[in-house]
Structure formats: C-alpha cells, structure tokens
Amino acid sequence: MAFKRISDLGDLSGKTAVVRVDLNVPMAGGEVTDDTRLLAVKPTVDAISAAGGRSVLLAHFGRPKGQVVPEMSLKPVVPALSRVLDRDVGFAELGDDLPDTSVVVMENTRFFAGEEKNDPDLAARFAALGDVYVNDAFSAAHRAHASTEAIASLLPCAAGETMGAELEALEKALGNPERPVVAVVGGAKVSSKLAVLEHLVEKVDHLIIGGGMANTFLFAQGYDVGASLCEKDLKDTAVAILANAEKAGCAVHLPDDVVVAREFKVNADNQTKPADAVENGEMILDAGPATVARLAEVLGKARTLVWNGPMGAFEMTPFDAATVALAKAAGALTREGKLLTVAGGGDTVAALAHAGVKDDFTHISTAGGAFLEWMEGRTLPGVAALG
C-alpha cells in the first residue's frame, strides 16, 4: 500500500508530532529489562527532530482495561527511554501542560476506556497534542484504537521510520516478492494458525510445516503419530488445506523423518526414525536430519522466505536441532545475498536468537498479533488509516 513517510510531512519547525509508539516493554523492579522496543523509537524521534519538530509519544502498557492502574504507568519507562534517545524526555498526563522537552511521553493510553473503543472524542484529545500524526507502532496496528486509527483522520499523518521499514519488508516478502517464495510455519497447534495456512497456500510456492502442527498433517495423511501433540479433530481441515495447496501449485513440505521420545523433557532419551514408524507412547518432538537436509535444498533455490514458528520443541535440547539447522541455513543464504528473509512472532524471534542468526535475517518483526494477522492477509486498521 502507499503511505507517507515523515519526510513527506515537510518542514516541522515549531511543530509537534503526535507519535504512536510501542513502549510495552518488560519490567522488573521498576527497571526496563529489555530495551529492544525503545531502540525502535529512536529513528523516528531523530527524524522528527531533524525536520525541526518535537515528539509527543502515545503508547499503552499492559491491559488496564480503561482503568488507572498505577503499576501500569509509563512513567518508569521514561529514564530508560531517555538513555536510549540520548536526550531529555518529559512525562505528562492527558490534560496537563506539556513539559518543555523535545520528547514527551504521555501516560498509558489504555487508562482511558475510549482507547480500545476507538472513541473519536478521545482521539480528538490526542490529536490536540500536536500538528501531525506519526504511527510507528506496527505491533499495535492490528487494533482499531483511538491512538492508532481514529486519530489518523484528524491530522496529516505518516508512518514512522520503524513502521515504514516494517511495511516495506512485508511488501517484499508477500506483497510483491521475488520468487520462489518459501514460508516456514511452525508451532504447537494448527488451530492457532489456521487462517495463516489457508492464506499462505495461495501466496507462496513452498510451505514448510513444522512443530506440533506437522503432526496434525501427518495424522491427516494416515500416519500414526503415537502420543504426539496432535489436533485429530482438524483432520478434515488439514486435508482441505493440502488439497487447496495442490490446486494453487504450492508444495507442502512435512517431515520425512522425525525425532521421538517418550518423555517431554530436556535431553530425554530419543531416536530418529521414519515419520511412518512412530510407535504408541512416542512423541514427535522435532524433524529429523534427512528432513532438514531436504528443506535446506528448498531454501537454497528460493529467493524469499517468511518464517513464523519453530520446527520442533526448540526450548529443549536436543529437540532444537531442526530449528537451529534450518535457521542457520537461512541466515547463511541471507548473508550471501541469495535470500530475503522476514520473520516474526515471539517464539520465532526467540528461536532465531537461540540459533545465533537473529542479526542475519533481512527483517525481524517484534510484533506478535499484527504479524500473524498480516500473514493471514487481513487488513490492519492502523496501517490502512495511513493510506
């Protein structure tokens, strides 16, 4: 989709940009424990400052459900944000006079019941804080809230630097990709990613299914999956997805060999066997080496990769092997300039970090729900509002 960037807003001298950001960071003992999302704010604040403007930041924290919950105040985030931005950062509640700083953090937007109701009156109060609106929170773009959608119709608007980079990466991955396109979709349950799978078979050339989800597809094809995690009630759904994939010319890849164990624990006794040789009491916990070798060949011929979800129980050794091996293969191809790689989702980011290739991928989205809804092909209200 077409959208404006901060540079399209022109000279911002003497103007204030109301900026929707993601400050929903992990905290412990009143301190920020991971500043990844704070670092993502810096390019946009810097761009606004370079254009002569100041930034008033809107963000939510936790789920206060329209109530003032002191423990969910954004005030404790301010010192860490100030360090990351390397500038003074003020703090204010809606209705207060704004402090005389180039950056101001407003109190938690979700302290207002109207935020999650996309209330136009609350949006007008947010809009009154500035002259232009910038949305830099892709992670909240799947929500039609006052600070993400309604406000965009009240001020000249643009995507922030981080949001813009995200949208451009996603467009290259599925909107207008270089082919062949491969999607890796893993995780525990088919039911949680049903819409993703249904959408992807129409969009990609190869669909790699891993994790517990693969067990449901193996079962649908008549395999005995023993005591593995498996949604047997979705057998017909899995069969339909496979049929639609064949019709669309999408090759679906499932494990040929699997790693099984009788206990779900770290370093449990395990063995590798053909996918059609699983016995009663055995759990499939990872894809086997033959499968990984075959999938690495698929990646080697691809130009674009979209990844969401692990190939196995990656939190436990040795059942992280397939995820790590495939991630390393993708990372190497990316470094060589042969593959554009886009990944997203909490487990995915953790898995790629575990594999040591997080920095190798072309783009990693820190968004959870928004990334999944994008993979489902759904319109994201916070993005559509910028068009």
Q: Is residue 62 within 8 Å of residue 69, measured between CB atoms?
A: yes
Give 33-59 as a DSSP string.
S--HHHHHHHHHHHHHHHTT-EEEEE-
Q: Is residue 186 within 8 Å of residue 229, measured between CB atoms?
A: no
Q: Is residue 162 within 8 Å of residue 23, measured between CB atoms?
A: no
| Cβ within 8 Å of residue 83, ≥6 positions away | none
| Cβ within 8 Å of residue 217, ≥6 positions away | 190, 209, 238, 241, 242, 252, 254
Three-state SS for 264? coil
Matching residue, tokens 């950056």: 103
Residue at 225: amino acid letter: V
Phi-psi group of 10: left, alpha or beta (phi > 0 → left; psi -120 to 50 → alpha; rest → beta): left
Burial class (CB in 10 A: 0-12, 13-18, 19+), 168: middle
Return the structure tokens found at 270.
């395990």
Q: Is residue 236 within 8 Å of residue 336, measured between CB atoms?
A: no
Q: Is residue 275 within 8 Å of residue 257, measured between CB atoms?
A: yes
Cα 125 versus chain centre, distance: 30
Distance CA 142, CA 149 (A): 10
Give me the numbers of helices (H) and strands (E) for the chain, helices first please.
13, 17
Q: Is residue 4 within 8 Å of residue 160, measured between CB atoms?
A: no
Catalogue the active-site residues.
37, 189, 346, 369
What sign for the dihedral angle of Cα 178, 180, 185, 186? negative
Return the structure tokens found at 226.
């023993």
Matching residue, tokens 């302290």: 111
Q: Is residue 273 within 8 Å of residue 257, measured between CB atoms?
A: yes
Q: Which residue from 142, 147, 143 is spatially nearest to 157, judged by alpha carbons?
A: 147
